[in-house]
Amino acid sequence: MLENSEKLNNQAVTLAAKGEYDDAIACLKRAITVENENALLWFNLALTYRDAGQIAKAKAAIEYAYTINPQDEEIIETLAVLCISAGAMDEALLHCTAGLELNSLNPHFWNTAGVIHFSSADYQAAADCFEHAVSLDPHYYDAVFNLRDTYGELKNSVGVQECARLLSSIRKESQP
């Protein structure tokens, strides 16, 4: 009987959630032998490698997922974030740009682009990206947090205070 890639994927996700990364990776590799062109399997393999601290392998897996499905926004965002983790900032920015060309209303691409600019100390460009992300999703905690820090670097105390107020309201909304 042939192994079912969906069952192997589900088993891998469960194992990874328990921190059993080696077993999860083994399940995903078996699933990929059954269904090599399944972008979700490669995506989950990338996430599992990332969680296991194997950034180079994670990046290689997500790059393959991207070749299978270059229109998937989550794959593109993960690819950009893994490029940041690998220190490949120019490549990360290229992926963010590709993502924004695909969907300029995705606040995650704007936030990730802001992170790239912030890391190179281009605080004004970072602020522009974070502001765009927050304008698209005012409750996007990471973007507001990043914008607050960026305003701090730009000595914009009014902006810092407004972001702190917004962060406080986001936290209050998320509590039961």
The per-residue pLDDT for range 59-88, each reduced to its tens digit, is 999 999 999 999 999 999 999 999 999 999
pTM equals 0.89
How confident is the model at residue 93, as a pLDDT? 96
Residue 45 is which amino acid? Answer: L
- Burial (CB count within 10 angstroms: exposed 0-12, middle 13-18, buried 19+), residue 112: buried
Q: Does the structure show a pLDDT above 80 at 168?
A: yes
120-125: Cβ within 8 A, 24+ apart = 120/89, 121/153, 123/150, 123/153, 123/154, 124/154
Pairwise pLDDT comparison (128 vs 174), residue with the higher score = 128
Digit-coded pLDDT (tens) for 79-120: 999 999 999 999 999 999 999 999 999 999 999 999 999 999
Q: Does the structure show a pLDDT above 50 at 1?
A: no
Q: Does the structure show a pLDDT above 70 at 148?
A: yes
Q: Which of 118, 109, 116 is nearest to 140 (CA)?
A: 109
Are 123 and 92 a contacting pair, CB within 8 Å?
A: no
Burial string for 5-22 (b: 16+ CB within 10 Å, else e) reads beebbebbeebbeeebbe
H helix runs in the chain, sequence order: 5-17, 21-34, 39-51, 55-68, 73-85, 89-102, 107-119, 123-136, 141-153, 157-174
Task: Give me the mean pLDDT over the 42-63 stretch.
Answer: 97
Task: Give me the mean pLDDT over the 12-17 stretch.
Answer: 96
Q: Does the structure show a pLDDT above 70 at 175?
A: no
How confident is the model at residue 23, as a pLDDT? 97
Q: Does the structure show a pLDDT above 70 at 136?
A: yes
Task: Give me the mean pLDDT over the 138-150 stretch.
Answer: 97
The confidence band for 171, taking pLDDT boundaries of 50, 70 and 90, is confident
